[in-house]
Structure 1
Amino acid sequence: MFKFIVRRLLITIGVLFGVSLIIFSLVHMQPGNPYSTMIDPSVPKEVLEEMLMKVGYYDPIHVKYIKWITRALKGDLGYSIYYGAPVLDVINSRMGNTILLSSFALLVSMLIAVPSGVISAAKKNSIFDYIVTIISLIGISIPAFFFGLLLIKWLAFDIKIFPVSGMQTIGEHYTGLEKIIDIGKHIILPGMVLAFLQMASFMRYTRASMLEVLNKDYMRTARGKGLTLSKSIWKHGFRNALIPLITILCMQIPFLFSGALLTETIFVWPGIGRLNYEALLHRDYPLLMGLLMIIAVIILLSNLLADILYAVVDPRITYK
């Protein structure tokens, strides 16, 4: 296992190098000057050209890449054009908010979807199974922005239960328990959107995996030895159905970081998704490249985590 992990990490480094090359090239091939929003229009053209020369704007693209990758290897992802601060500092200021929202959504979706999928498979073609199937189809089909706007209309404007946007109430300076409650109120709506979308996928995969497992010989043997259906499912069947669930779970981790862009934008949640949108909107190339590289790292590590969890869940899987 240790050799496998080391080998995968070495492959990850090579993949990251290729990803960095593609990201850097695509971003710098965009037309226009990203520094135009920072410069006073009254600055003389000669001074402007001198400033752009100093920051390396006119350097060949391969020279720009070498400078950028050299700094990145030292932990310096550059300086944000729009925020006027180091890229890592800007990302770190938003990362915790996204982790909070993503963890909440993932926990809620797993707690609802996994038991529902198992029960749906055990009671195939029942009313409960039809309800779960319909809910999962709706969750897969409905766009995140549309569902988010519906929740804002119903729960924020019509019923006025939850706040419309943001992470904290504007103008208030809560501390302690009051602050936790205030954040909890603001996280409900965006958390519901992300949780519902994730829940739909988890339900479908759990149901499909359990249906396949229920037809295995060892499940019939367990029932023949006197185990109840419930015990045979949770003691023998569920663990063998975990492999596909681990796959979809680890695939959803990067999605929760990068795919929350629309949700965080709609609800003005100050996280990585909204930061991606702001970096693109303001043509903040250093920040955009830093965000894309971090998301690439999360995707690769999530794939590695899935492979490790396979071996933990199923002893028959070994890596050499």
Structure 2
Amino acid sequence: MADVPLRSGEPAPARARRSLPWPVRRLLQALPLVVVIAVLNFFWLRLAPGDLADVMAGEAGAATPEYLAALRHQFGTDQPLALQFLAYLKRMAHLDLGWSFRYNESVLHLILDRLPATALLMGGALAIALVFGCLAGTVSAVSRQRWVDVVISVLATLGFATPLFWLGLMLMVLFSAHLHWLPAGGITTPGVVATGWAHVGDVAAHMVLPVFCLAAYYLAIYARLMRAAVLEVGGLDFVRTARAKGVSRVATIRRHVVPNALLPIVTMTALQFGTLFSGSVAIETVFSWPGLGQLALDAVASRDLNLLLGILFFSSVLVLLVNLAMDLTYGWFDPRIEVER
């Protein structure tokens, strides 16, 4: 069999990279960014004053120089910064996020223990924001300059302008303190051991307020963005052609307008995933939700740098993976987009 001719002037490493699947190539391209994020996190956190030894010595009421030196020697923070950095890189190379001396537990175990609660909060809020935001934006665009459009636009503006922590407090005062319909905070009822569907119902009741509060801001954004996208796509030639061929207005919107208008939503979702995670920190604080955001605040308050570094690194990698997943979904929403092979 004759050899397949190679592209002239193309180096061998480039040909090897092109032989890999596109998702694998994207992951390899993200590795340098992961390293840069890990390095920047390490040095930025070292700029903050104080450390875990100061906090623990203050709590123990024994902030003597000898006790502080013993704590720093135990934590390894008395070593030169270069040696600490090399030890940190060695741990990262072995996918070891370190040890939390505050909780006396592995950082990875702490993150994985809090991750389900944050995933429930963010997943529920994102699902509500996407579904109802796209639906509201589509209805607003179809009913342009009518009372429905005005109402949705006003509500979207209010949702966009309202601070999350204030909305959470107002919801808590109304539905928990006055009406007693929903629990005020936490993920389960204290002192109640429930199993099966009773446990699911208890968690769902505790999710209502924080999930709605976190979803309100992003629902407003997606509603405004979807309205603009539907109006833009609705004026294109292929939509007018479909209507001229006798396709009904509802079918045109459902089959042609909405699928093409969803592409900006996918892009915005990928870009705002990191913002969604940071927004969950405020919501977890207001509603005492035991997630990664609450854990990060505790790490900041106690100067637990190993734990905070692990959370920042884990969340950064998670955002990169979500952006990669969104890139892979572009072709499903718009077949005209071809992924480079």
- Scaled by the length of structure 2, the TM-score of the pair is 0.89
SS of residue paired to 1:260: helix
Which amino acid counterpart does residue 235 of structure 1 have in structure 2?
A: R
Equivalenced residues, count: 320
Residue in 2 that maps onto 1:110: 130
Q: Does 1:20 align with 2:38?
A: yes
Give the one of 167, 174, 177 matched to 2:197.
177
SS of residue paired to 2:52: coil
Please report how far the alpha carbon of residue 186 of structure 1 lies from its aligned counterpart in structure 2 after TM superposition: 0.7
Alignment deviations for residues 120-146 of structure 1 (CA, whole Å, 9 cap, x no partner): 111111111111111111111111001
Q: Does 1:202 align with 2:216?
A: no
Please report how far the alpha carbon of residue 279 of structure 1 lies from its aligned counterpart in structure 2 after TM superposition: 1.1
Residue in 2 that maps onto 1:161: 181
SS of residue paired to 1:30: coil
Residue in 2 that maps onto 1:78: 98
Contact 1:209/1:244, CA 8 A, preserved across alignment? yes
Which amino acid counterpart does residue 271 of structure 2 have in structure 1?
A: M
Q: Does 1:313 align with 2:340?
A: no
Please report how far the alpha carbon of residue 34 of structure 1 lies from its aligned counterpart in structure 2 after TM superposition: 1.8
Please report how far the alpha carbon of residue 259 of structure 1 lies from its aligned counterpart in structure 2 after TM superposition: 2.2
Contact 1:258/1:273, CA 8 A, preserved across alignment? yes
Give the one of 15, 19, 25 matched to 1:7.
25
Please report how far the alpha carbon of residue 309 of structure 1 lies from its aligned counterpart in structure 2 after TM superposition: 1.3
In 1: Cα distance, 2:309 partner to 2:287 partner: 24
Q: Does 1:297 align with 2:314?
A: no
The 3 A distance-change label for structure 1 pair 205 and 55 is: same
In 1: Cα distance, 2:297 partner to 2:134 partner: 32
Please report how far the alpha carbon of residue 41 of structure 1 lies from its aligned counterpart in structure 2 after TM superposition: 4.5
Alignment deviations for residues 65-97 of structure 1 (CA, whole Å, 9 cap, x no partner): 110121122121111132111101111111001
Which amino acid counterpart does residue 110 of structure 1 have in structure 2?
A: L
In 1: Cα distance, 2:228 partner to 2:64 partner: 66
Please report how far the alpha carbon of residue 49 of structure 1 lies from its aligned counterpart in structure 2 after TM superposition: 2.5
In 1: Cα distance, 2:269 partner to 2:116 partner: 20
Residue in 2 that maps onto 1:258: 278
Contact 1:258/1:295, CA 8 A, preserved across alignment? no
Please report how far the alpha carbon of residue 36 of structure 1 lies from its aligned counterpart in structure 2 after TM superposition: 2.6
The 3 A distance-change label for structure 1 pair 276 and 50 is: closer
SS of residue paired to 1:201: helix
Contact 1:121/1:207, CA 8 A, preserved across alignment? yes
Contact 1:71/1:77, CA 8 A, preserved across alignment? yes
Q: Which has the larger radius of gyration?
A: 2
Please report how far the alpha carbon of residue 107 of structure 1 lies from its aligned counterpart in structure 2 after TM superposition: 1.9
Contact 2:53/2:68, CA 8 A, preserved across alignment? no
SS of residue paired to 2:187: coil
Residue in 2 that maps onto 1:271: 291
- Scaled by the length of structure 1, the TM-score of the pair is 0.94
Please report how far the alpha carbon of residue 188 of structure 1 lies from its aligned counterpart in structure 2 after TM superposition: 0.6
Which amino acid counterpart does residue 10 of structure 1 have in structure 2?
A: L
In 1: Cα distance, 2:63 partner to 2:184 partner: 42
Identity rate of aligned residues, in percent?
32
Unpaired runs of 5+ in structure 1? none
The 3 A distance-change label for structure 1 pair 54 and 275 is: closer
Unpaired runs of 5+ in structure 2? 1-17
Q: Does 1:36 align with 2:54?
A: yes
Q: Cα RMSD between the aligned structures?
A: 1.8
Which amino acid counterpart does residue 231 of structure 1 have in structure 2?
A: A
In 2: Cα distance, 1:149 partner to 1:59 partner: 45
Alignment deviations for residues 84-115 of structure 1 (CA, whole Å, 9 cap, x no partner): 11101111111001111112212222221111
Farther-moved stretch of structure 1 (296-305 vs 10-19): 296-305
Contact 2:50/2:303, CA 8 A, preserved across alignment? no
In 2: Cα distance, 1:149 partner to 1:47 partner: 42
Farther-moved stretch of structure 1 (248-257 vs 155-164): 248-257
Q: Does 1:66 align with 2:86?
A: yes
